[in-house]
Amino acid sequence: MRLFSSLYRRAMVWSRHPHAPWYLGGMSFAESSFFPIPPDVMLAPMCLAQPRRAWRLALLTTLASVAGGLLGYGIGYFAIDAVLHWLQGSRYWPAYQTAVDWFERWGFWAVFIAGFSPIPYKLFTIAAGALSMALLPFTIASLIGRGARFFLVAALMARGGARMEAALHRYIDRLGWATVALLALGFLVYH
């Protein structure tokens, strides 16, 4: 079944849309405080489609993500009591507890690691606010961690350019179904 190739073609068309950078910025901002989908899923095809704009797109993603992280920090700092009940009942609660534990152990480095890794960054932004982490170190760690991640994605995609776009198009269905299988296996092992 060629489900993923049609989605891939659509994503590549969208990534060339004149308003795509605005959507990327909005998604990057929202993901850092409440939205569940990481901006990499837009950044990567946009850098493939427009390799000469990759650095600008990575900078946009980084700055919007850090601005959204500051909103997440504000949620944690000013409104943790309002969101705590929802958080405890959500699937994010164990990850939030991990974030709190990491802050108690590593402080600044917890934000840096969360910013670079696939760990839900939004939980660390909220936890940083809830634990009253100093704002300047939080912002610096976010800039470094998020910037490293997004500039790495941009560099890899821009370097591959048209060749990588063609190779991905050729193998996207296999890669997509392999990812679904791995996620299903991970879910079964976890439960």
Average pLDDT of every residue of the chain: 85
End-to-end CA distance of the chain: 28
What are the sequence ranges of the domains in the chain? Answer: 3-190
Averaged pLDDT, 70-91: 92
| pLDDT number for residue 73 | 96
Which DSSP category does 131 fall into?
A: T
More confidently predicted of 95 and 30: 30
pLDDT band at 172 (very low <50, low <70, confident <90, very high): low
The phi-psi region of residue 161 (left if phi > 0; otherwise alpha if psi is between -120 and 50; otherwise beta) is left
Average pLDDT over residues 131-158: 93
pTM comes to 0.79
